[in-house]
Amino acid sequence: MIAVLDDKHIDAIMASLMDGIITFDGSGHVIMANKAAENLFLVREGGLEGKTMLEIGDNDILAMIEEVLKRGNEVFAETIIRPRTQIYRVHVMPIKNDVNKEIEGAVAVFRDVTDARNFDQMRSEFVGNVSHELRTPLTSIKGFVETLLDGAMENSTICRRFLSIIDAETERLSRLIEDLLSLSSIESKERIINLEPVCLIRSIRSVMNILGPQISEKSLHVEFIYDDQLSLILADEDLLNQVLINLLDNAIKYTPRQGKIIIRSRQRDSRVITTFTDTGMGIPHESLPRVFERFYRVDKARSRHQGGTGLGLAIVKHIVESHGGEVFVESEVGRGATFGVSFLVV
């Protein structure tokens, strides 16, 4: 026995669909629209019925409906339906008579593909950035190797200088690959996060010792200020150290010789907030929303010269957010920058 759906069941199914669906008669007037379609065009329940797309106010979709009603072909398009900013894939199909196959109307399906298109764009940009970052040191290495093979090896001074450059570029490639693998494992959740009570004060002091040679080389003054009764935080200690190393290393790179870096840790309710303030060149206001993006550099030439891979702050952001924390940055050009992270207390 075959069950036949009545109007009540059909209405329930249509209302539950995430895609917007509108059916039109042979003259292009709306016969029926589900709730998702009404929300899409910002009208009340039943507000689309009896109208044409010209009255609704979308000429692009009107042209698609007219094409289907006239020729009977399915049409597809991706468009932004104002006043919204999402991208919709619109699929319009003819409704034909079962007997003589005459066109009796059309049905349009609206699917939000904004996230998919944004992902495609991000993936394309990521591949392009990785290719560029890999190509630059490889081109340099290849050029110096060719010069050495062409006879420069006979001059020991030139040979040593070229080999030093090749070694530095190779080290840069290695750091880039390590950062890519680290970021990938965090984003894909392959890296298991082992949360445990951690003393943030001890971790910061340890990181200051690790980066001591870089601090001494630039004669920097690094000050650590913290609350006496600072609670333990809940974190994966290895990942926490990676965050602290990246933030302090970033501050060291962009602080001029004999400059100052201040690290502050304070507790606010259920979180411990730690900031790294440098006395560097600062960050333009328009760049602040993008500093935690992969491969984004405020000063591309300077960052590469200092050995940055463009992934350090992106790694910080993903690690902190995977712990339920937050990242932020404050800066003014010429007045340094402050990068901050928060972690939950035990």
Q: How far apart are CA 326 and CA 343, in angstroms?
A: 7
What domains appear along the chain, each with residue ranges and CATH number? 7-112 (3.30.450.20), 114-191 (1.10.287.130), 194-346 (3.30.565.10)
Name, in order, each residue with C-beta under 8 angstroms of 340's C-beta and a sequence gap of 6 or more: 273, 274, 275, 276, 327, 328, 329, 330
At 264-291, the pLDDT tens digits run 999 998 999 999 999 998 999 888 988 9
Look at 73-82, 123-132, 185-194 and tell me which has the smallest mean pLDDT: 123-132
CA–CA distances in Å: residue 61 to residues 31, 43, 108: 16, 17, 9
Q: In this prediction, what percent of the chain has a pLDDT beyond 90?
A: 47
At 139-174, the pLDDT tens digits run 888 888 988 888 888 888 888 888 988 988 888 788
Read off the pLDDT band of 303 (50, 70, 90).
low
Q: How far apart are CA 172 and CA 308, in angstroms?
A: 8
Judge whether residue 307 has pLDDT over 80.
no
CB 307 within 8 A of CB 158: no
pTM over 0.75: no
Read off the pLDDT band of 109 (50, 70, 90).
very high
At 192-211, the pLDDT tens digits run 888 999 999 999 999 999 99
Alpha helices, H only, the chain = 7-16, 35-40, 53-56, 59-71, 114-149, 156-187, 200-210, 212-217, 237-253, 300-305, 312-322
pLDDT value of residue 2: 47
What is the identity of the amino acid at 181?
L
pLDDT value of residue 305: 53
